[in-house]
Chain A
């Protein structure tokens, strides 16, 4: 086993063995797994990065790190049961073993954004890759201007990290707004799409950094709404999703125009990919 560990340190294709330490069911089809390395310590990571999670005998998928930074001994991943591999990973019990390669990819610009207002805009499961950024910003709250978290999902029962959103909303130094696409009259919150929340929070458009994660169409609409509100395209960051395989920019599965999402992303600046987002051939 020490040989495997040593090899893995120099070979990004070799998965490390991790064990599931805790499982939390978030939604009917979403779980959050806390995983810890079977040997040694986990590598450090930056908010926005992802790991390749390997369900033995089934396959490997890219999943963003969704930890809130409170545990330095393992990784936290929030997984939606949507395909064969994610279903297998979401079904893992405490003590089960899985393979992990990573962390890979670019990060949310939380350091570069210091001194500016921050808009964090998430749709659905997109809140998971943003949680490390939110945690970082809140832990260093004095370094930022106004902070707003805008979250949208389909129904009230689909609200991810419900308790944590409520706790964030309880703080007096940030704004948190939640909207759902569909609801009946028992829901007393906002109904509508997440871009419609943008005019409802205060920020200085010319000094704002926006971090956006969610379904690609939602991100496109949101980025356009941010620009309409005066936020420059080079201050808007999206977390892209493509079919990643090697995760180090070799295989080309996640090619996105002239870029590879695994290596040049997943966090990408809007002005650099705006044209690609509307190209049908990509």
Chain B
């Protein structure tokens, strides 16, 4: 557990997070390794766990019939994969595939949601950390769909 606490403390997502809250989150954490091509999760599956990438690159994809999956974005070291665990119905809305060898820490969603319900300070802290990421990704998506490099 001490090892996981150390890993969480070093991860960008938990920068300057209070120690007692890191300890609470670490209680829901476990290490993962994903080989290239392996899926962290699939669209429609229960969002039971989200991931903090330590090394490697993950592609968020939407599967399309009769063509290669469409990559929405790639995420790398220091970033978070998965937000669907936060809100009902707790199901993934895309696939997440390891593009290269990925080492990550997985956080058990039900475990963390339970701790957030029991300790609203922890819940608020998690929301404060997730909300800017979600807003940043929303803004990036807006820029992405503008097709700014197209001919005018």
A binding-site residues for B, Cβ under 8 Å: 29, 80, 82, 123-125, 153-154, 158, 179, 181-193, 195-196, 199-200, 214-215, 217-218, 221
- Verify if B131 is at the interface (C-beta below 8 Å from A): no
- What CA separation (Å) do A153 and B71 show in the bound complex? 14
Task: Determine the interface band of chain B, counting residues with CB < 8 A from chain A.
Answer: 20 to 34
- Verify if B78 is at the interface (C-beta below 8 Å from A): yes
Once the chains bind, are A185 and B144 in contact (CB under 8 Å)?
Answer: no
The 7 closest A-B pairs by CB, nearest first: A184-B68, A124-B149, A215-B148, A192-B73, A154-B149, A191-B71, A193-B143
* A191 cross-chain contacts in B, Cβ below 8 A: 59, 71-74
* B67 cross-chain contacts in A, Cβ below 8 A: 184
* A184 cross-chain contacts in B, Cβ below 8 A: 67-71
How many residue-residue contacts, CB under 8 A, span A and B? 72
* A80 cross-chain contacts in B, Cβ below 8 A: 151
Once the chains bind, are A185 and B59 in contact (CB under 8 Å)?
Answer: yes
Q: Which residue of B lies closest to A152 (CB)?
A: B149
Q: Which of B76, B148, B150 contacts A200 (CB 8 A)?
A: B76
B binding-site residues for A, Cβ under 8 Å: 57, 59, 61, 67-74, 76, 78, 97, 99-100, 139-140, 143-144, 146-152
**Given A82-B151, A193-B140, A196-B140, do A187 and B71 touch, yes or no (CB 8 Å)?**
yes
17 contacts between A and B (CB under 8 A): A80-B151, A123-B148, A125-B149, A154-B147, A181-B144, A181-B147, A182-B71, A184-B67, A184-B70, A185-B61, A185-B97, A186-B68, A193-B140, A195-B140, A195-B143, A199-B78, A217-B143
* B151 cross-chain contacts in A, Cβ below 8 A: 29, 80, 82
A82, A124, A191 — which one has the most chain B CB atoms within 10 A of its CB?
A191
Q: Which residue of B lies closest to A194 (CB)?
A: B143
* A153 cross-chain contacts in B, Cβ below 8 A: 149
